[in-house]
Structure 1
Amino acid sequence: MAFAQRSVSAGASPISDPIKVMVVDDAVVIRGLLTRWLGEDKGIKVVGSHRNGKMAVEDIEKSNPDVVVLDIEMPEMDGMTALPLMLAKKRDLVVIMASTLTRRNAEISLKALSLGAADYVPKPESTSEVTTSVDFRRELVDKVKALGTRAIRMRGPARTMRAETSAGRTAQPVQPVPSRPTTDTRASFRGAAQPAAAAAGGRKFQTRPYSSARPRILAIGSSTGGPQALQEVMKEVGTAMNDVPVVITQHMPPTFTAILAEHMGKAALRPAKEGEDGEMLKPGNIYVAPGGKHMVLEKEAGGVKIRLTDGPPVNFCKPAVDPLFDSVAKAYGSASLAVILTGMGHDGADGVKTISAGGGSVITQDEASSVVWGMPGAAAATGVCCDILPLKDIGPKISRILKGNTR
């Protein structure tokens, strides 16, 4: 498994109503197992369990789930056929695709994201592996809770206020825990630290000016919601990355990352592939960390090369963003440009501090445009980011910076 998270997104308000979930899988053992796992969590209520997409579509309006865990391959109506029909019946429905780690299913899962699915969970290939996989169970439950909580909150403050008032308490937003303040003494930055930057929800975060050094690399970290966000960013950045390589860590399992690299290449109209151990970085190329490995960079005479390591998960993730960002800072210093996009957990928060301490620049996605504001929220809370931007503005901003303009 590529990663397993333990916490819901930073900055999310607690919801007293349980998250209503429907499970759709043709395998009775798997369906029963997922239903039991989800039902054991006090914040989740399973409201439907079906063996094919047709039955699930017919039950959407009656059961009214917040989240559907949807298998891909099923008789009578498969997941890809059911997906648009479900979304047509309930526009704010969160659909999480569940598929085994085959290339075909990876392709289908990524296509489902473009058609409206919120995310996916890769299932182990055999029933026995599913039964014993702690990581799969944790990832399933955490994604249901993170995405379901956001969906409920996005329906408006009125519902959240009603839910919390009925529980006998006043709604209070949960604030990310800020990092310890640091002093910026780097000559590579223009001026003093800016006092604050506004993020979604009215919260204020400390920001810093961009490095005066023109970037020689672009490093991006992302997780839940990342494939869609990366696609949008790379479409914009492709025309501006002539002189820099792009390195990406997206929390994904093997097979998925190879296909993601292909999609990034098509979006940017640039060469893109999984990084290979010992490979030298080339400007204008995109390198995606392969699932199940950490990708780091190593400076040597004549350039910078990729190293793949098989160490333990970092922040419960493998690949993880922090090791990549740490190595980027060492190899490129003030010429580093790092970006944190949507994702659960806090992976990348330590890495952006390393990038910043080395004189580099950091951009993070704002809360309103993030599928889950865990990773970008944690990065924003460090106080070392240069900008906290909506997704639509990140690609254009990166393009300007790569061309030497930080305004």
Structure 2
Amino acid sequence: MNEIMARARRAMPGGAFTTYVLDDEVDFVVKYGKGSKVYSTDGTEYIDCVNGSGPMLIGHAHPEVVEAMKVAVESPSNYYLLNEKGIELAETLVESIPCAEQIKYGVTGSDATLYAMRLARAFTGRSKILKFEGGFLGGNDYALMSMSPASPFPNFPAARPDSAGIPPVLQDEVLIAPYNDLEAVTQIVAGAAGELAAIIVEAQQRCIDPKPGFLEGLRSLCDANGILLIFDEVVTGYRLAWGGAQERYNVRPDLATYGKVIGGGMPLSAVAGREEIMRLANPRSPADPRKCFTGSTTCGNPVAATAGIATLAVLSRPGTYDRLNEIGDRFRNGAAEIFQRRGVAGQTLGSGPLTQIVLTDVPVIDYRTSVSGDLLMQRKLTTALVRGGVLTHGKFYFSLALSNDDIDRVLSVLDEAVASIF
């Protein structure tokens, strides 16, 4: 272990910023990123298919973002009160998000999902939330239920905490359903409709696409039972389309949550929705027992908003999403050819510039089928890819900065990695 890694482990548990770490044999410290690449402190180049776990959709150090940030950091302040850049970004979000009549800022995606669930409970006067097994909705206590439950799996709709330190009482407030199973969701709702404030879902759960009619069925089910529908678009927002999953799948939720891309690599998130719901977070409103607390010290930070504005300006240009889809399709088609040629039971989930490899021949429609393959071999494959100069953490967050040569290089490394471990 080199000295900088040792310093990290002395200062932080496991020497890690987040919950994910690379295997020791390939672990490294990033020195800087440029375009489609990141570089380690020892000078090794990696094609970046993590991209900050999604925020860097247009690549690292995009010239237009850099130029905007140069101006912004001349006054690297946090004002707490209104500022022009925060207002400008809010207007862009309202104009481009199909369900948005108003937005409120957070700092992380976990903030946004927490605020959305709180608003739903306040608006409906109900307390329970239905989420989907395997769906990642952030790190708040409600979200960390049955995100990655281990076998044997609990029976639906029982929730299983994914972390120690979560009050047991919250398990009764979160109901769990299988993704893509509208019949199961309908049965769960029938048993708890008068208590359910919201159904919250990643429209594309991780990299699993919704079955035709599934999201439409959730919309109808919510409408029939006075339940709010929340889309967690922290990942899908501005990635699957300019209007996110709402545009791609043509289903409009009552509330939606955003993070990652909208901050252009800086910490920023938002919850968006109908004005009659969002008004419950209005600090100027008179006393109201339904009034909700949302916000924190750095909400609407002008430097973060500047990065977001510049990033969204690039994404708004004609042809952007055609290219992002082309990048994802090029990889998925190439990977499918490799698995077939090598005789490996592997498949690539996802659509648009978002993909995950699973080593199974079982059709993947939900969390349980997504973990039905050889998870140890999937981890070995990830490590082999990093060793070959392709940075991934199991998912592939492709960026607009990737060239066709970059994708072909990723596929070449994948081919070599598959050959080396099977």
- After TM superposition, the score normalised by the length of structure 1 is 0.33
Relative contact order higher in (CA < 8 Å, ≥ 6 apart): 2
- After TM superposition, the score normalised by the length of structure 2 is 0.32
Higher strand share: 1
